[in-house]
Structure 1
Amino acid sequence: MVSKISIISLIFILLTLQNNYAEVLKMMKIFGKVLDFDLKDAETDENCTQTCFSDSDCILAFFNEESNCQLFFYNSTETLKVEETNRDDGFFVAFKTNLSTSDLEYCPIESEISTKIFLGEDPISWTKTSDSTWQFKKCVGNWKMFKRSDPEIIVCMQVFLTGTGTTQKEAKDYCSSMGKLVTGVATVEEPKWIFKLRGWLPEVGSFKGIWIDGERKTLEKISFTWTDGYTEGYGAFESDNGWLSLTNTKGEPENCLAVSITHGRNARINDVVCGIGTGNELGVACGYKLE
């Protein structure tokens, strides 16, 4: 996306005093168009690029020589495809990018330009899908993006606090109501992130957890079946990250999973009674695979 470009320097965002370098937020402007979108019904805005820059949620401005302008926003956009065009076509695309420099007026060469968007928790890269086409894909809204390596997929997750005593069925129904599933976890980082969001609630005691996917089908401690359709393996249980007891103090089998505080340990995955859990589950982690 960085051939045929002009860089419009607008304002610096963050000054790093230690090395006199700045993270400069810029709008990168190219001759191009957003595929599958027609500007004929778009509003007129002669300052389309500046309007996008001034809106903290805007990631891209698409406009033409007649100043028909369409803005695209981070929290409401999941995928965009941009195709480079020629000057004679009269279409322009401007999108936000960051540049590290000590000279706020500096115009970089192509190799120095980052095609990443840094507005959310996860930097999102524009991916080149052909010689002239670029694609932007992210999770819905502010859902967290996890890049898994085995297999190589991207999983989107979000935690929802649904109230003390949430049952497993209620958790599944909640995710299903959004067209999503109760998510499994494949790395140590994923339950850590779920645990961190659970920490929004003050003074939450031990074993008050967040439902996740997974059900034990054998007597082995780490032997769970994932039903979300995209989780594989037991990497999330590494580094002593699971508090697995097989049964509770009443002798009831604990074959399902939640993320919670455990007694005096760093473990974040706890096996619980399927259906009712500990009776104190607070919510659910929903997820889906980003296609």
Structure 2
Amino acid sequence: MLKIFGKVSDSDLNKAPTDENCTQTCFSDSDCILAFFNEISNCQLFFYNSTETLEVQETNRDDGLFVAFKTNLSTTDLEHCPIESEISPKIFLGEDPISWANTSDSTWQFKKCIGNWKMFKRSNPDITVCMQVFILGKGTTQKEAEDYCSSMGKKVTGVAMVEESQWILNRTGELLNVTEWTKSEHYKGVWIDGERKGEGLYDITWSDGYTEGYGAFEDEWAYLDSGLTVAEDCLFVSKTPRKGIIDDVPCGDGAGLPHGVACGYKLE
């Protein structure tokens, strides 16, 4: 636990329960990420699975307020107390290690995706996108997919990196109990955003509001042919007979192939 003089923004300790071992209580709880307490042992704990954003502001000793981060320090010397420039707390719970961002000289901020949604950091543009796969049943239509994501206030997500489509495929396999992508398991996939609007094979338009570029199509990771007899201008992620795991299918019904949808949103 890394203890500093500080407070959690928009939190009030006046009604918090008393716990003289606030820091140790947090340390012992596998889901606790932060303890906020004062000199009279009012204690408020914050937990990974129920927290999406937190802001910590450094205070003075005279304020009598303390914050303890659960983190791993870069030093192996347990007697070493790091100076401020050495403090870079990270949270190692869940699938993605999350760093506390030092947004100013005296403010630390933590953000993560809701629940167990997967976090992807994109570089062009520099944004963080959260994704999750949902299985709705074989023959899920495009409208059903869109409505499902919309019901949560999210979008059918596009993909900007190969890692994103690979994760969607692997997550789909887990949810469908596919242990090996044999030939009989090919084309068991989920809808993603993206529609061909022009004549070019890769002339795909994203409509989720945050996906740009075609990095996910690089190195033959997309298996697009636009259809031979029926137009196939929308996208889903699935295992195919080739390397490509992004396939084009008919908009609307997807030829009855999609089993669900990959939803997403930009982390603000």
Task: Indicate the TM-score class for this superposition, using the shorter chain for normalisation.
Answer: over 0.9
Q: 1:89 and 1:99 mapped to 2: Cα distance?
A: 26
- 2:170 paired with 1:216: no
Summarize deviations over 1:212-247 as a string: whole Å, max 9, x none: 000101121101111100111111100100111111
Contact 2:133 2:260 in 1 (8 A): yes
**CA shift in 2, pair 1:129/1:89, >3 Å:** same
Counterpart of 1:188 (choices 162, 165, 168) is 162
> What's the offset of the Cα at 1:101?
5.2
Q: Which residue of 2 aligns with 1:48?
A: 22
> What's the offset of the Cα at 1:202?
3.0
> What's the offset of the Cα at 1:287?
0.6
RMSD over equivalenced CA pairs, Å: 1.5
Segments of structure 1 that go 5 or more residues without pairing to the other structure are 1-26
- 2:6 paired with 1:29: no
Counterpart of 2:214 (choices 218, 234, 241) is 234
Q: Which residue of 2 aligns with 1:202?
A: 177
Contact 2:35 2:67 in 1 (8 A): yes
Q: 2:68 and 2:56 mapped to 1: Cα distance?
A: 11
Q: 1:106 and 1:278 mapped to 2: Cα distance?
A: 64
> What's the offset of the Cα at 1:107?
2.5
Q: Which residue type is aligned with residue 226 of structure 2?
A: L
Q: Judging by fraction of residues, say which structure has more helix.
A: 2
Q: 2:11 and 2:112 mapped to 1: Cα distance?
A: 19
Contact 1:259 1:270 in 2 (8 A): yes
Q: Which residue of 1 aligns with 2:253?
A: 276
Residue aligned with 1:97, SS: coil
Counterpart of 1:61 (choices 23, 31, 35) is 35
Residue aligned with 2:40, SS: coil
- Figure out how many residues of one structure are paired with residues of the other and give that number: 261
Q: 2:211 and 2:101 mapped to 1: Cα distance?
A: 25
Q: 1:266 and 1:46 mapped to 2: Cα distance?
A: 58
> What's the offset of the Cα at 1:146?
0.9
> What's the offset of the Cα at 1:281?
1.1
Q: Which residue of 2 aligns with 1:106?
A: 79
Q: 1:126 and 1:290 mapped to 2: Cα distance?
A: 15
Summarize deviations over 1:31-84 as a string: whole Å, max 9, x none: 100011111111111111111111111100111112111111111111111111
Q: Which residue of 2 aligns with 1:157?
A: 131
Alignment of 1:130-141 (within 5 A): 130-141=104-115
Summarize deviations over 1:63-115 as a string: whole Å, max 9, x none: 11121111111111111111111111111100111135555x33243355431
Identity level (%)? 70
Residue aligned with 1:219, SS: coil
**CA shift in 2, pair 1:80/1:188, >3 Å:** same
Q: 2:100 and 2:74 mapped to 1: Cα distance?
A: 18
Q: Which residue of 1 aligns with 2:231?
A: 253
Counterpart of 1:287 (choices 261, 264, 267) is 264
Contact 1:207 1:278 in 2 (8 A): no
Counterpart of 1:72 (choices 42, 46, 54) is 46
Q: 1:66 and 1:162 mapped to 2: Cα distance?
A: 51
Q: 1:179 and 1:137 mapped to 2: Cα distance?
A: 18
Contact 1:208 1:278 in 2 (8 A): no
Q: 1:194 and 1:71 mapped to 2: Cα distance?
A: 33
